[in-house]
Each structure stands twice: as structure tokens, then as C-alpha cells.
Amino acid sequence: MTSMPPTGHTSTPAAPTVDPTWAELYEEIADCPRCILARTRTQSVPGVGPSTADIMFIGEAPGAREDERGIPFVGASGQFLDELLASIGLSRDTVYIANVVKCRPPGNRDPEPTEIEACAPYLDRQIAQVNPKIIVTLGRFSMARWFPGQSISRIHGEPKREGGRVIVPMFHPAAALHRGDLRSVIHADFARLPAFIAEAGIGASE
């Protein structure tokens, strides 16, 4: 694959801008042999966005569209994520988006614990490089890293403050594609983000 996926600002990204600070890590992820997902991927999907972002969104794993494009959240759940971002005045250009697992699990099955573990050092490095003030976990796999043993139905939208950072667990956008009643719940959780953004002292333009 190409060494660096582009950044984009809609779920059908147009002209990419590239943040060169990601080159080394993205090249490593592109050639990663650490788990069996390397055998079935079209390409890995490292992440997208500036290393200077104040807000980081962490999903689960690439799906079919992401595997084709090398960019996270460009399928149906990505369209909903774009809508959610827009609803609070954010765009993809200003946030960083990654997944717990960088390669598509075949048939969109859940990632295995061994795959999550094999991929964890990449996410660690992304978090260290971005050093975001706010992390939004999308779905239970990224939630589990900060809220082990918790249920997303119980804690969605309720932040935790840790190491000078706000961690906000949210439902995965795909959940609303299967359960329409969750759409308004996810919108309501996103509507709480501007208060956390203000609390973190992030500029009004973000």
C-alpha cells in the first residue's frame, strides 16, 4: 500500500493533506506482520488527522470500505461520525481518528484479544504523539482500555479524567445503524462534548 493514508474531511474524502510526522509509524503499520489479520487485509488503516489534534476518536477496527481505502471511518458508520462531528461544529480536519486494530477482521468479526494486544503498541504511539486533551472511545473495544469491565449502555457519555485528559466513552456509530433508537442517544452524548472541549481549554475554532 501507499506509505501514508491521506487526511480527508468527509466520509468520501477529497484532496488529501498529509501530516509528515506520521510517516515512520504509518510505514511500520503498513508492513505489520504481528497478527493473522495481516494475511487477509487489502491494506492496513493506521489513522487519519493531524498529530497536533486536541481530540482523538478511537474506534474498533476497519471494515470493508476502510480496508479498500486505507482511511478509517469512510463507510456507513463514518458518514454518521461525520454527521455527529458536524453537529457540534467539528470536522475531520481538526481531530485525529484511529482504531484499536489497524487491519480488517474478516467478515467484520470482532477483533480477538490477541489481535488487540498485538496492535496496542501502535495505538500507544498514536496517543503519545497526538497527546490529545480529549479521547472519545467509540464502542466497547476502545472503551475497555480505559473502562475495563464496564458496560457501554451504563457509562456512555460519562467522562473520566485521567492524567490531565478527559476520556469520554461513546457508543460506536455503527450501533445506530442497527438500532435506530440509539441515534438520538449518540447525538445527545456528542452534544456533551463542547462542554468538555471548553473545560480542556481547547480553542473555539476546534
Crossing angle of the two packed helices 76-87 and 182-190, in degrees rounded to 10: 40
Please report whether residue 13 would count as binding ligand URA according to CB under 6 A: no
Please report whether residue 8 would count as binding ligand URA according to CB under 6 A: no
φ and ψ at residue 5, rounded to 5 degrees:
-65, 150
Cell matching residue 114: 490477541
Q: Binding ligand URA by CB under 6 A: which of 63, 70, 132, 159? A: 63
* Residue 57 host element (H or E): strand 55-59
Q: Which stretch, 62-70, 114-122, 151-159, 182-190, contacts ligand URA (CB under 6 A)? A: 62-70
- Of 13 and 63, CB closest to ligand URA: 63
Q: Which stretch, 31-39, 53-61, 150-158, 181-189, contacts ligand URA (CB under 6 A)? A: 53-61
Please report whether residue 62 would count as binding ligand URA according to CB under 6 A: yes
Q: Binding ligand URA by CB under 6 A: which of 44, 77, 94, 137? A: 77
Please report whether residue 61 would count as binding ligand URA according to CB under 6 A: yes
Choose among 161, 188, 160, 156: nearest CA to 172. Answer: 156
Q: What is the dihedral of CA 127, 193, 95, 56, to 10 degrees?
A: 20
